[in-house]
Structure 1
Amino acid sequence: MSIWFFIIPFTLAAALPGPAQGALIAQVLTRGGRSTLTFILGMVAGNSLWLVAAISGLSALALRFEAAFVIVKWLGGAYLLFIAWKLWTSAPDGIQAQAGGKRGLLAGMLLTLGNPKAVVFFGAVLPQAFDLTALSVSQIAVIVALGLAIDLGVQVAYLMVAARARAFIRSPRQMRAVNRSAAGLMAGSAALIAMRS
């Protein structure tokens, strides 16, 4: 096993900003870091499911059910548009009362599960790092735990940067501007999700 052939590409892929990170930043700016944690947990859980599918050799099977992923992708995009509309039309402090909770967890999972490119990525990277036919249960557990730790660490770093930016927002006028900017970011993330095949 060459664990670095997994760690380096996965860390780089997780760190590249995409629609999920745009949605994460928008939520931190409008709702705060604490209420965004469930969204991050949903993102990480979705990626972990893709990682387990790739390790188990289910990549080809998962990609055969492309229609299911298209539905999940559109549900994730629709949810982001709903949040964007709520942000745009809310009073400056109104959206903050709605913490992430189960909705945040579901939204994060929908975003990552609706992206079958994740399983393609794992399907391409994992065989370069490991002999997938010879992995023991404990080795699989280590790979999944490592993937969880990397993904969670990267997303928490995004959260911390966005939370520091949020600290400068003080007045209702600034909050309204942030809500509208976040709405645009959410709508843009939904558009990016819709354009991805």
Structure 2
Amino acid sequence: MEIWKLLLFIPACFALNMTPGPNNLLSMNNARCYGFKSAFIAGLGRISAFTVMIVFAASGLAVVLYASETLFLVIKLLGAAYLLWIAFQLWRSEASPMTEIENHRNHLGLAKQEFVLAAGNPKAILIFTAFLPQFVDVSTSVNGQFFVLGLTFLVLEMCAISIYAILGIYVRQWFTKPHMAKRFNRACASFLALSGANLLFIRQI
């Protein structure tokens, strides 16, 4: 892969990684509630979902999925419904504990939440079917280029997870009082609900 394409890809990709979407907001809230370690482990669920999508994109299956109106609609509806469900749960939740989770079952639950949220976001399908291919030269090894681009995307995504988790650690100091924590939960819930509603208006290109 030509180095100049990679140099163009990295800043554009990192801008996408850092977009304050539902997964990044979830990482920040997980860090605020449970600490950096738990938020980072939970973020690995998102990384797993994106890895599967990158493999699909490299094999051409993602293009088929994106071209299918029915499958795209199903993913869109499920993704929106899950986002709204998380928003509802967060809105009703009381102030969360400010301690690290040591229970591996809880870590797994947070990771599953990140995985489902990422897998049910049709914007992610758009990234891997419309954004990544722009940097692929079809005259050479496509799979090799997808591997480099995909690996770079995942590394940058882990950086974004870490940055949002650090932000979550920082803001937790502002919400030690239960009523302030509840307000923050409801603000996050409102943003997630808006994101879920926004998914319903995403259309195929």
Q: What's the TM-score bracket when you normalise by the shorter of the two chains?
A: 0.7 to 0.9
* Cα offsets for 1:140-186 (capped at 9, x unmatched): 44333222101111122112112211123222232222233233233
Aligned AA (1:112):
A
The equivalent position to 2:94 in structure 1, one of 84, 91, 115, is 91
Question: TM-score normalized by structure 1?
Answer: 0.77
Aligned AA (2:168):
A
- Give the aligned partner of residue 156 of structure 1: 162
- Is 2:136 aligned against 1:130? yes
Q: Would the alpha carbon gap of residues 29 and 68 (structure 1) be closer, same or farther in structure 2, given more than 3 Å must change?
A: farther
- Is 2:199 aligned against 1:193? yes
Q: Would the alpha carbon gap of residues 120 and 150 (structure 1) be closer, same or farther in structure 2, given more than 3 Å must change?
A: same
Aligned AA (1:57):
G
Q: Would the alpha carbon gap of residues 152 and 115 (structure 1) be closer, same or farther in structure 2, given more than 3 Å must change?
A: same
SS at match of 2:20: coil
- Is 2:34 aligned against 1:28? no
Question: How much does 1:7 deviate?
Answer: 1.9
- Give the aligned partner of residue 167 of structure 1: 173
- Give the aligned partner of residue 45 of structure 1: 48
Q: Would the alpha carbon gap of residues 27 and 183 (structure 1) be closer, same or farther in structure 2, given more than 3 Å must change?
A: farther
Q: Would the alpha carbon gap of residues 95 and 71 (structure 1) be closer, same or farther in structure 2, given more than 3 Å must change?
A: farther
Q: Percent identity?
A: 26
- Give the aligned partner of residue 64 of structure 1: 67
Asked if structure 1 preserves the Cα contact closer than 8 Å seen for 2:30 and 2:165, the reply is: no
Asked if structure 1 preserves the Cα contact closer than 8 Å seen for 2:58 and 2:142, the reply is: no
Could you say what the CA RMSD is over the residues aligned between the two structures, in angstroms? 3.1
Task: Measure the CA separation in 2 of the matches of 1:48 and 1:29.
Answer: 26
Task: Measure the CA separation in 2 of the matches of 1:82 and 1:124.
Answer: 29
Task: Measure the CA separation in 2 of the matches of 1:73 and 1:34.
Answer: 30
Question: How much does 1:3 deviate?
Answer: 1.6
Task: Measure the CA separation in 2 of the matches of 1:43 and 1:66.
Answer: 24
Aligned AA (1:56):
S
SS at match of 1:168: helix
- Structure 1 residue runs of 5 or longer lacking an equivalent are none
Asked if structure 2 preserves the Cα contact closer than 8 Å seen for 1:33 and 1:160, the reply is: yes
Q: Would the alpha carbon gap of residues 54 and 174 (structure 1) be closer, same or farther in structure 2, given more than 3 Å must change?
A: same
The equivalent position to 1:143 in structure 2, one of 144, 149, 155, is 149
Task: Measure the CA separation in 2 of the matches of 1:105 and 1:60.
Answer: 27
Task: Measure the CA separation in 2 of the matches of 1:102 and 1:72.
Answer: 23
Task: Measure the CA separation in 2 of the matches of 1:67 and 1:20.
Answer: 25
Q: Would the alpha carbon gap of residues 85 and 94 (structure 1) be closer, same or farther in structure 2, given more than 3 Å must change?
A: farther
Aligned AA (2:39):
T
- Is 2:109 aligned against 1:103? yes
Task: Measure the CA separation in 1 of the matches of 2:151 and 2:65.
Answer: 22
Q: Would the alpha carbon gap of residues 118 and 91 (structure 1) be closer, same or farther in structure 2, given more than 3 Å must change?
A: closer
- Is 2:82 aligned against 1:79? yes
Q: Would the alpha carbon gap of residues 170 and 40 (structure 1) be closer, same or farther in structure 2, given more than 3 Å must change?
A: same
Aligned AA (1:44):
I
